[in-house]
Amino acid sequence: MTVRTFRDLVAWQKGMELVRAIYRLTRHWPPEEAYGLTSQIRRAAVSIPSNIAEGHGRRADRELARLLGIAHGSLMEVETQLEIAFDLGYIPQAELDKLLALAGEVGRTVFGLIRKASSS
């Protein structure tokens, strides 16, 4: 498959899937978290596909690798914030496991793109 736009990248597609899942999850979190954990995890999640898209749009492997690194860092933030939400009782173990599995898929695809961009 030829990659014509960032929308063709599996990493971006998986990142968008994670964003949608995070928004669905946080819709039911306590209102007192609106400016705390809810806002933080949503911003970190949105940052993942946003940085993938921006990196692809830069058309330079070095810039792509840098922005993919930022996307990967944001993914680590999301994973940490999911663990915090679990510890606070906001999500059950099964939901945590499901979201961490999706995050793992995102991470593998982003890391694959980083390797590809770094070797070019």
Task: Convert the pLDDT of each residue in 79-110 to its tens digit.
Answer: 999 999 999 999 999 999 999 999 999 999 99
Q: What is the pLDDT of residue 59?
A: 81
| Tokens read off for 24 | 């669905």
Q: What is the pLDDT of residue 118?
A: 87
* Contact partners, residue 82, CB within 8 Å, separation at least 6: 41, 91, 96, 99, 100, 103
| Tokens read off for 103 | 């995050």
* Contact partners, residue 105, CB within 8 Å, separation at least 6: 14
Q: What is the pLDDT of residue 3?
A: 76
Please answer whether residues 29 and 90 qualify as being in contact, where contact means their C-beta atoms are separated by less than 8 angstroms: yes
Walk me through the domains of the chain, giving residue ranges and CATH numbers: 6-119 (1.20.1440.60)
Q: What is the pLDDT of residue 15?
A: 98
Distance CA 58, CA 47 (A): 16
Alpha carbon 58 to its chain's center: 19
Is residue 24 predicted with pLDDT exceeding 70?
yes
